[in-house]
Amino acid sequence: MSDAAVIPQASTEEWSLPSRGVVGMACLILAEAAIFIIFVVAYIFYIGKSLSGPTPRDVLELPIFSSICLLSSSFTVHKAESALHKGARGATSLWLAATVLLGSIFLAATGAEWYHLIKYDHLTIRTNLFGTTFYSLVGLHATHVIIGLIMLSLALGFSLGGQMTSKHYPRLQVLSLYWHFVDAVWVVVFTVVYVLGR
Amino acid sequence: MATQTPVSAVVDQTTHTAPRRLWLEVLHEWVTTVDHKKIGLMYIAYALIFLVIAGFEAILMRIQLALPNNHFVSPQVFNRLFTMHGTTMVFFVGMPILFGFGNYLIPLMIGARDMAFPRLNAFSFWISAFGGTLLYFSYLGGDGLYGAGSAPDVGWWAYAPLTAHAFSPGHSTDYWTLSVLLSGVGTIGTALNIVATTISMRCPGMKLNRMPLLVWIYLVTSMLVFVAVSPLTAAQIMLMLDRYLGSHFFDTQAGGSAVLWMHFFWIFGHPEVYVLVLPAFAFANEIIPVFSRKAIFGYPAMVAATVGIGFISLSVWAHHMFTVGLGPGANTFFVLATMVIGVPTGIKIFNWLATMWGGKIHFTASMMFAIAFLFQFLIAGLTGIILSAAPLDWQLGNSYFVVAHFHFVLVGAILFMLFSAFYYWYPKMTGRMLSERLGKWHFWIFLIGFHLTFDLMHIPGILGMPRRIYTYEADRGWTLLNMLVSTGAFIQTVGTLIFVFNMVWSYFRGAIAGADPWDAWTLEWSTASPPPAYNFATIPSVASRRPLWDLKHPEDPDSNYE
């Protein structure tokens, strides 16, 4: 029943803890993964259940080139990260620019695909269950790509402006974790939509 | 280990009366704060306001059901009442109040100065608060152009196709889905913050196996939030696409599936029950040992049981769907999974009993609520085992037996443990003790009201009274029971009013608490009450699970035994 507040000071061993940024991003990835799983489950559940056309086999083409672009952007963002770690700021900007470019190519390809589907194949989100699940799943992923691109462009801007130094390495590391996640999700979406779904 | 040099908790030891400030300054301070204690208190206050609103809705429903052939409210209003009551209690009372306590206590308990992401913390609170406001704004804005009724009336689980445009014109369902979506975003943000805080902000020596059990349980709860609340967020996005863009996720006429919504909802809905009840366990883990004057029995078993509950709770959702007709294989799986969850829960109950066994029990108001929690949670668990058997569930599903069962969990276990937590931590949060005398009045009156309502509520359920029924004929034999159930609701209201009065009165007139009124052992009691903005003048360092015990008993510290 002591009134005076006294803080315990025990002698302890060496103390180091994981970075809170990495832990936070890992949590976000876990939560986002759960959201994607629900959309993937809905996609798989509704494969072949559309009451009317068009079907995936009629209209979908494999987006090989854009997928290669997106997946290789994982490599470039990793290079940017390690360049920043070494303090090579020019190389950081270069690799970040490459990442933004590759991501933009992917996004543009998705846009072109949707344009074609809507204009020539008359597939919209209201057409049938395929349209519903396709646009929502691919659209959810594309939204994540857009958010990633915005953040990467910001990082690129800071890097070009010279504000980003090696002490910001942990932050770029967190961003790169997110970008790897977006790429990994694409592997799943690609497999489900363009391989299994056709 | 006996060479501890204690350090005073507060830099400025002078007592002074704070200068009077304009109310606008005070408001500005609270709105812009990123302090985990202030945010925690705002969470709690906001949840208490919604508790009063949703409690009032419950009272209106009980008045309607007290007599047969009653028309106290219209059927449409009744549908809105049970929808709003359920949605409010789960999303805008249960979640925020539990996160409020977590926000307040976790950094203090692990010896940190704030959460890992203070601004995210404020964002999460305000987005949840916005969600709750939006839900009730539906009373004004839900009509839309259709004149189709104001507040949501689709039930708290909002089964398809009731949520489709054809059956829910107007905007009431849009308000429901948006507010739940926003609350989910806030919840995920806070859970993320709690995990990052627990992993990355512990003070030196606070290894995982030395963390207070409360922090452990909040860690598991937050992990559960990621995998449980996210599916609900996804399902709400789908529902919004259906309603706004005309997609067909839950539209049976286009081949969509109403059962898919059920699965998505209960993949959230059942783990959610554990998200709500685990923090109640967390409070019990801190309060029962202190008032039994013994260290918690079986710390590692408690941690293992918590993690076990976390995992098993992910595989029981379809026990809400036995009446759908899932087929024998799925039914058997979900029956067994549901029964298995009784094992880790039983371990916890036995550990609490073993903690009390041979202890020197102090019957404070807080401890009395905790003991009532133990008994009532056991009964709630037993009716849960009854309902988990699919054949019995076919008989009792969607009856008042189910309503009685889950209110035994939500009120008998969670609310009782919340009251216990208020009596225990109110002195830390305000610097004043709650009145024990009023606390005991509160306890006994609420206990009587609770049992009158929810013990008897099982019986009309067995007699066939369906859930969400608007009214009933006099010759069903439910009249007396319903009258008694409604009477109990009023008695509970009286108890709650005593509690509210106690909180207000004690804030101004209560006895000064001091830093450590309960002679407790965890770090939050090592700083002043209420704690200064920086929590600890010096970051503490610990060598055992009960650092304050070590401090008070240097001749026999816990670290010798762990």
**Interface ipTM:** 0.94
Q: Are B108 and B515 in contact (CB under 8 A)?
A: no
B492 lies in some domain:
no
Spatial distance between the Cα atoms of B220 and B195, rounded to a whole number of angstroms:
9
Check residue B248 and give its pLDDT: 94
Residues from chain A that touch B201, judged by Cβ atoms under 8 A, are 17, 20
Spatial distance between the Cα atoms of B313 and B173, rounded to a whole number of angstroms:
28
B17 lies in some domain:
no
B402 lies in some domain:
no
- B147 and B183 belong to one structural domain: yes
Spatial distance between the Cα atoms of B129 and B425, rounded to a whole number of angstroms:
23
pTM: 0.94
Check residue B496 and give its pLDDT: 95
Q: Which of B309, B339, B369 is the last residue of a domain?
A: B339
Task: Answer whether the bond into residue B530 is a cis peptide, omega within 30°.
Answer: yes
B64 lies in some domain:
yes
- B136 and B262 belong to one structural domain: no
Neighbours of B467 (CB within 10 A): 14
Residues from chain A that touch B192, judged by Cβ atoms under 8 A, are 24, 27-28, 31
- B235 and B287 belong to one structural domain: yes
- Banded model confidence at residue A42, pLDDT cuts 50, 70, 90: very high
Q: Tell me whether residues A136 and B188 touch, CB distance under 8 A.
A: no
Check residue A11 and give its pLDDT: 79
Q: Are B324 and B381 in contact (CB under 8 A)?
A: no
Q: Are A79 and A88 in contact (CB under 8 A)?
A: no
Partner A, chain B 214-273, Cβ-Cβ below 8 Å: 222-223, 225-227, 229-231, 233-235, 237-238, 241, 245-249, 254-257, 260, 264, 267
Q: Tell me whether residues B8 and A132 touch, CB distance under 8 A.
A: no
Q: Which two tokens stand for residue B328?
A: 């024998």
**Least CB–CB distance from A17: residue in B200, B515, B517:** B200
- Please compute the mean of the pLDDT values over residues A128-138 and round it to a whole number: 96
- B73 and B171 belong to one structural domain: yes
Spatial distance between the Cα atoms of B438 and B416, rounded to a whole number of angstroms:
16
Interface probe, candidates B247, B266, B433, B524, chain A, greatest A C-beta count within 10 A: B247
A50 lies in some domain:
no
Q: Which of B275, B283, B334 lies closest to B309 in space, CA to CA?
A: B275
Closest Cα in chain A to B254: A51
Helix axes B416-430, B479-509, angle to 10 degrees: 10
Check residue B19 and give its pLDDT: 72
For the CA atoms of A89, A90, A91, A97, what is the dihedral angle to 10 degrees? 110
- B235 and B318 belong to one structural domain: yes
- B258 and B172 belong to one structural domain: no
Highest mean pLDDT among A54-58, A150-154, B16-20, B169-173: A150-154
B446 lies in some domain:
no
Element (DSSP H or E) covering residue A7: strand A6-7
Name the percent of chain A lying above pLDDT 90.
85
Spatial distance between the Cα atoms of A192 and B354, rounded to a whole number of angstroms:
52
- How many separate domains does chain B show? 2
Provide the residue range defining the domain that includes B256: 212-292+294-339
- B41 and B127 belong to one structural domain: yes
Give pLDDT < 50 ranges for chain B: 1-3
Q: Which of B323, B339, B355 is the last residue of a domain?
A: B339
- CATH code, domain with A138: 1.20.120.80
B481 lies in some domain:
no
A153 lies in some domain:
yes
Spatial distance between the Cα atoms of B456 and B476, rounded to a whole number of angstroms:
16
- Please compute the mean of the pLDDT values over residues A74-85 and round it to a whole number: 95
Measured between CA atoms, how close is B562 to chain A, in angstroms? 15
Measured between CA atoms, how close is A53 to chain B, in angstroms? 12
Spatial distance between the Cα atoms of B226 and B184, rounded to a whole number of angstroms:
10
A167 lies in some domain:
yes
Environment class of A54 (CB within 10 Å of its CB; exposed 0-12, middle 13-18, buried 19+): middle
Measured between CA atoms, how close is B417 to chain A, in angstroms? 24
- B38 and B187 belong to one structural domain: yes
Interchain CB contact of B32 with A (< 8 Å) = no
Spatial distance between the Cα atoms of B100 and B559, rounded to a whole number of angstroms:
31
- Banded model confidence at residue A166, pLDDT cuts 50, 70, 90: confident
Helix axes B95-109, B172-200, angle to 10 degrees: 10
- How many separate domains does chain A show? 1
**Least CB–CB distance from B550: residue in A10, A42, A49:** A10
- Please compute the mean of the pLDDT values over residues A119-137 and round it to a whole number: 95
- B321 and B249 belong to one structural domain: yes
Check residue B1 and give its pLDDT: 40
Q: How many CB pairs under 8 A join A and B?
A: 185
B173 lies in some domain:
yes
Check residue B2 and give its pLDDT: 43
- B234 and B187 belong to one structural domain: no
Provide the residue range defining the domain that includes A181: 76-198
**Least CB–CB distance from B199: residue in A5, A18, A28:** A18
> What residues contact residue B25 under an 8 Å CB cut-off, 6+ apart?
none
